[in-house]
Amino acid sequence: MSQAVSNDYRIIEAKNEIEEGRQIALAIVDHLNSDIHNIGIVTENRIVAKLIKENLKRYNLDINDTVARSLIELNEVKFFLLIFELAVNNTLDKVALLSFLKHPLTNLTINEVEEFEINYFRIPKIYNSLFEVLSQIERNEQYLGITQVIKTVLEFKPKILSGKTFYSFFSEHLRYFNTLVSEEIRNSLPSLDYLIDLKMELKPLTYAHKPIKIRRYKELLIKILSEQSYRDEEFIEEVQILTPLEARLQSFDLVIIPSLNEGNFPDITRDWPLIDAALATQFNFPNYQEPLGFGAHDFNSLISNRKVILSRSRYSQGKETTESRFLSQLKVATSIEQVNYKSAEDSEIFEYKPSARANPKPPLSARPKKFSVSSIERLIYNPYVYYAKYILNLNPLDELDVTSIKRDFGIHLHKALAEIFEQTLPLCAEKFTNDLLNKFKACAEKSVLSDSNTLQFWLKRVERIAPWLYDYEKEILPNLKGSLTEKRKEINFNIANTTISISAIFDRVMLYKDGGIKIIDYKTGYTPLQKEVDRGLSPQFPIENLILREVMNTDDISQEYIELRGKKDIANSKPITVDSKVSRTELIKLITIFLDPNQGYFTSIDLEKNQRFKEYQHLISLNLE
């Protein structure tokens, strides 16, 4: 590296790849303004290359990216494969359908697709096929565009499935694509010419006309498309992105070498790090020294240019990087000026101050005066979550293709128990078990548990739970006068000259002959601990106790969780104690605080730790300083 001493070297040491791409773009703009018009960006790192290109678009600069990309990486080719999946799949994939509808090539309006998603897919409803979706929307004029593209998919389904050879499959697939995508859009995408050329190349080939299964067609198509390269159209010649191989024997006024980290430049990876060189040679493993030697040769050639900007990021995808050995040696051989490219516009965009922690203060008239157990629980855990749900009325959308089977099991078991406890206890455990199974099955048949295999799995759990419940009921029955199930009770308080309503829905209230009352809450999921109740983090039993004291006019009240697992620990009862005086005092204190218009619904910094109500986490601005 003796020639390195006379050259002009500068280095950008960025925090991450995003900043690295931004600073390289600024360096290019700066040098183009300085009458340098032959700039080569030499890298194998496609992430940084893409970031550079995107940043240059801010300055209306398109560059000549000579690096070939796999054809299958292009969005239009991904769309070509996606429409095939939709046509041949027997079951409906909501995510795939929405990806298809939202793709620019379908030419649907954003509003139409968003309305469709919210009204039909972000609800707990199961669609088994595209036919079911079509039957729901085809008479609605709001979804004419979506109706048409779904009809096109369904029209081509039998035609594609009727294919026998690779050529027939591909021909119908291409015709299907041309029907969905307008000619104007197709003509604007030169990469699609390859699909037309591929059809022409396949026609005379013998293997393309041999019988093939549709699954094999998809595998071969992906393999063919993966092996084909595509280059973007050339733009301005003075700025190019090249690989080290393409940059050989070329000279530039300015060379930029990004991603000077181990694993990028040199681009070497060893799949056998614990095997020494001699053993690797013995078993004829690839010699990793060869790419290292080529990398050293390319680096030495690149730094022979008159002006060189080197760059690296200290972190990549959140992990600390290691400086390239080539860069380390160059630093020993010569001095390198460290630079930091910025612009006034750039500073405005990227230099920011964290916003203050969310602490909205709505007027008293906007603050709810009615509280349920779940709303009070949110107010305790994170006031901002309470504000989002009960004041802004923001409710999270249901996730796509995510079915809360455990939650549904709990809901339907609660319904079945409520029905069975309203009737007389059968004389034998077998009759009780059959009754509970039948009621649970009737509740579950119209839910996500309706699948036969899923339903059988949960019925087995109910079958294990039933005998334990029967024994529990049989033991308490002689002392029981009656019980209430799934009943809502409400009391009113006068707090700060405001009438406040507190309500709860009780799973079950047992009324004993001696005048005592026991509150039962059936748990199929997490059961709060006694210490969580004592600390006020689980306010259900304290509030329910408080309500029943007012409604039933008695102090003889106890509480008990009944855990219904159906696993090895089939079921269990957990008595919970409550200090009613403390509960009343703390509840009134909490509500009084938030009746003050000057009190904000602040953000709890513990939200990330406890992960409760995490569906609201993205709304919250946390400045922990």
pTM of the model: 0.61
81 closest CA partner among 174, 13, 161? 174
Among 3.40.50.300, 1.25.40.10, 3.60.70.12, 3.40.50.10710, name the CATH number for the domain at 2-68+233-348: 3.40.50.300
Question: Distance between CA 599 and CA 597 in Å, rounded?
Answer: 5
Give 330: exposed, middle or buried? Use CB within 10 Å, 0-12, 13-18, 19+.
Answer: buried
Q: What is the mean pLDDT of each run of 10 residues along the chain (625 residues)?
A: 67 92 90 81 88 85 70 86 87 87 90 90 78 90 92 87 87 90 83 83 86 88 83 66 85 91 75 60 66 85 91 88 91 90 59 72 94 93 91 80 72 89 80 91 75 80 92 91 92 92 94 94 92 91 94 93 85 92 92 94 66 71 51
Backbone angles phi, psi at 367, to 5 degrees: -90, 130
Give the CATH number of domain 366-608. 3.90.320
Burial class (CB in 10 A: 0-12, 13-18, 19+), 284: exposed
User: For position 624, what pLDDT does the model report?
Assistant: 45
Residues in a beta bridge with 25: none
**Which residues are within 8 A (CB) of 51 and not within 5 positions of it... i.e. 6 or more apart?**
17, 18, 20, 21, 22
Nearest residue to 252 via CA among 37, 34, 31: 37
Q: What does the alpha-carbon distance between residue 295 and residue 320 come to, in Å, rounded to a whole number?
A: 22
Which segments of 451-514 does DSSP mark as H helices, in order?
452-476
- How many Å apart are CA 595 and CA 498, to the nearest integer? 9
| Closest C-alpha among 149, 115, 150 to residue 133 | 150
Residue carrying the six token digits 């703009």: 29
The residues spanned by each domain of the chain are: 2-68+233-348, 72-228, 366-608
